[in-house]
Structures are given as structure tokens and as C-alpha cells.
Amino acid sequence: MSEWKLNDSNFTWLDRLKLSTFFLNPHHMWTMSTQVKKFEALMTEYIGSQHSIFVSNGSTANTLLAMYTQDCIATPEKKTVIFPSVTWITSVSPFIRLGFTPKFIDISLDDFAMDLDLLEAYLAEHHHEVALIFVTALLGRTPNIARLKNIEEKYNVRVMMDNCEAHFSTYNDKNISSYFTSTTSTYFGHLLQSVEGGFVFTNDKAEQEYFTMSRNHGMFRTLPAEEQNKYRNPLVDDRFSFYHLGNNFRNTDLHAKVGILDFARINFYTQQRLKLYEIFKDNLSEHYILPKEFKERKNVMFCLPIISTVDGLKEHIMAYCQRNHIEMRPIISGNLLRQTALKDFGDYKDYPIAELIHQYGFYIGLHPQITKKQILTFVQYLNSLV
């Protein structure tokens, strides 16, 4: 079997020539300028949100949400943020750094997202303490958006989403990042790439202004002229007027140009991932655990998860992958409560589905360079073991 990477570059020689031409043109800015605005406009239209803010990476996008939660949502009574037990560390760490108390909810095998029955059981007693529910669309799987909307209204608690692995997934034919204030990552290893990068998507104008200022040190000067008056301070120069405590989370026109070139392949990426995952799913033995399919959810998968609860089988399959040059990873961070940085926030044994994922699961790459033959050969091997 030929080398099977987690992800691979789809950039052509023509793409590289365009990048070189852009880089060498003395009239083009390299820092944040017109290409960033163009990339934001493309993503706004594609996602179907009102606003898109391009930042340095997905982690700084999450940090902006944490800052906004601290400044505009939290109260002395509402200092808890709810997370799934399986997600990436920088979905969680920015909030803890700002003084929030994390509450972890186990995930569901139905969609790999936060178990909404467990979430509601917690909210019934503690909703008055909760500033935010931060949901992750794990591995590209679409959560139950309608129920999350209902939970948000029923308990009067904001819901936001981390969709770093779910750029293209939809619910009722709308991109999942259009429903709530959401983040994504355009890191090389994800579905759409700008080498490094991330986005915040929002439908709220005040949030858009907050995020835009916060990524640029807290200055208002990158807002449209008609939006600047309310933020002016006559005591200081407008060019260096800091309305609130921001940071430098800007991205560059160089990264935006890479993202724009890759954006042209979105439909190709979507169709290839859907087709290849369908081949994998339809031919894989029912012995292996895959999330359920729901008619209103289109799941454009980030990877191919391999989960079997037979003791020793995971290690056997991983050894096969290593011999055959198939790159692999744990399913994100596994059970986050096992991690040294988070061990004080709960007992990992209290999260049985996260434990199952941690003990028995891993994933391999899914991207357009993979062939049907590779998938069928691998699935045939998997099925031969059970």
C-alpha cells in the first residue's frame, strides 16, 4: 500500500506561480490588507453568516470568544463554561486562563458531540451559573442544531461552536457555522487551508466590531469609517486609540492569498470527502463503531475513525498502519480529563464514552489524494480481523 498521509497539499504549480507573483509584486501588502478582506468576504458568503473575521489561527479565534464571554456575557454568578469531554485543548484553555470554571459533559456515540441529555440534566440544576455552552463538531460530525437552539432559549444560556474540523458540514442545508457564533481553523491539517489561520463567524454586528477590534490590539481604526465615531476618545490620537484590551491576533495577506487559492477547491473537497467516507462506511463491518447518520445533517468528515472495543485490536491495527505507511493519530486529545493540564477539573473515569474513544479509538487521514482502492484494501483488512 502506498503512503497514506493525514492530509496532503492540493496546490498546483499554477497556484505556486500565483503565490510567487503575489509575493514578488512590490505593490502588494504582506500584512493584513485587501486579501484578508477578500478572504473574509468569500467565507461570509460561503458560510451564510453575516460576518467573518480572519485571525492568526483557530486557537486565537477561540480566545476571542473567551474574551467576549468574559467582557459581554459573564456575571459574578455566571462563571462556568461547558465543554465536551473530547475536544482540542485550546477550545478549553483560553476560558480557564480568563478565570472561568470548566464543566465537562461526556460525548455521545450518536454524533460524537456533547451528550445533550447529560447537558440538560446539568442545566436543569445549574443554568444560572453557566455563561456559555461551547460545543465541538468533532471530526466533522454535525450536532443536533435544532435541539441546541432549543436549549439556548429554554435555559437562557448562550451556545457557541468550535467547528475547526467541520468547515463544510451542514444542518438542513445550511452550514453549521451559520447558526451560532462559531470558530474554525484553516491550518494546513484541516479541510480548507491557509497554512495557518482561523475564523470567527457571527451574525451579530456588535460582536463583529468587538472581534475586529480585539484582533488588532483593541483599536477601532480597522472598522469601517461609519462605525468609528462611537469608539472615539478625544484625549488620544485615533491611530493609536485602544477602546478595550485586545491582542495581536491579525493574520496576513500572504496567508489570505493561500486561503483564497484553496477556497476555489471547496466543492471538489466536499464531494471527494463525502464520496470517500461513503465507500469506507458502506463497506466497513458493523463490528466497528461509527456515528449515526441523520437525514437533516450532511457530515463532511475530517478523517476516518477506527473504533473497536475488542481488547488489543486497536494496537494490532495501528501496527498494520505503521508497516504500511498509513499516518494515524489519537481521536483528538482523547479523554481530556486524562490530560495533566486538566486533571484537577474532574475524574476521567466519570466520562465513559470519552474513555471508550480514548482506549479504543484512533483515526487515519481522509483527503482527496486518497483513492477508492486504498480505502477498500484497508477496509478489507479491518473486516478480516472480526
Do the Cβ atoms of 141 and 299 come closer than 8 Å? yes
Average pLDDT over every residue of 317-338:
97
Average pLDDT score over the chain: 97
Give the model's confidence band at 1: pLDDT under 50 very low, under 70 low, under 90 confident, else very high: low
Instruction: Reply yes or no on whether the pLDDT at 32 is more than 60.
Output: yes
- Residues 352-362 as b or e (16 or more Cβ within 10 Å = b): ebbbbbbebbb
Locate 161 and state its grid cell: 461552536
Separation CA 143–CA 174 (nearest Å) = 13
DSSP string, 171-217: ETTEEGGGTSSEEEE--TTSSS--SS-EEEEES-HHHHHHHHHHTBT
What pLDDT does residue 2 have?
59
Give residue 298's region: left, alpha or beta (phi > 0; psi -120 to 50). beta
Separation CA 187–CA 36 (nearest Å) = 15
All domains in the chain, ordered by first residue:
13-258 (3.40.640.10), 266-384 (3.90.1150.10)
Q: Across the strands, what pairs with 248? A: 216
Average pLDDT over every residue of 98-116:
99
Give the model's confidence band at 9: pLDDT under 50 very low, under 70 low, under 90 confident, else very high: confident
Do the Cβ atoms of 190 and 163 come closer than 8 Å? no
pLDDT in tens, 179-224: 999 999 999 999 999 999 999 999 999 999 999 999 999 999 999 9
Give the model's confidence band at 89: pLDDT under 50 very low, under 70 low, under 90 confident, else very high: very high
Separation CA 128–CA 192 (nearest Å) = 38
Average pLDDT over every residue of 144-172:
99
The burial class, CB within 10 Å (0-12 / 13-18 / 19+), for 127 is middle
- Residues 246-275 as b or e (16 or more Cβ within 10 Å = b): bbebbbbbbbbbbbbbbbebbeebbebbee
pLDDT in tens, 115-147: 999 999 999 999 999 999 999 999 999 999 999
What pLDDT does residue 14 have?
96
What percentage of the chain reaches a pLDDT higher than 90? 98
Do the Cβ atoms of 36 and 253 come closer than 8 Å? yes
What pLDDT does residue 25 have?
94
Beta-carbon contacts of 102 under 8 Å, excluding residues fewer than 6 positions away, are: 80, 81, 82, 83, 92, 95, 96, 342, 345
Separation CA 203–CA 44 (nearest Å) = 10
Residue 365 DSSP code? E
Separation CA 199–CA 54 (nearest Å) = 5
What sign does the dihedral 154-158-162-166 (CA atoms) show?
Answer: positive
Q: Across the strands, what pairs with 305? A: 363
Whole-model pTM: value is: 0.97
pLDDT in tens, 254-282: 999 999 999 999 999 999 999 999 999 99
User: How many residues are given for the chain?
Assistant: 386
What pLDDT does residue 233 have?
97
Cβ atoms < 10 Å from Cβ of 39:
25
Cβ atoms < 10 Å from Cβ of 363:
20
Separation CA 52–CA 228 (nearest Å) = 19
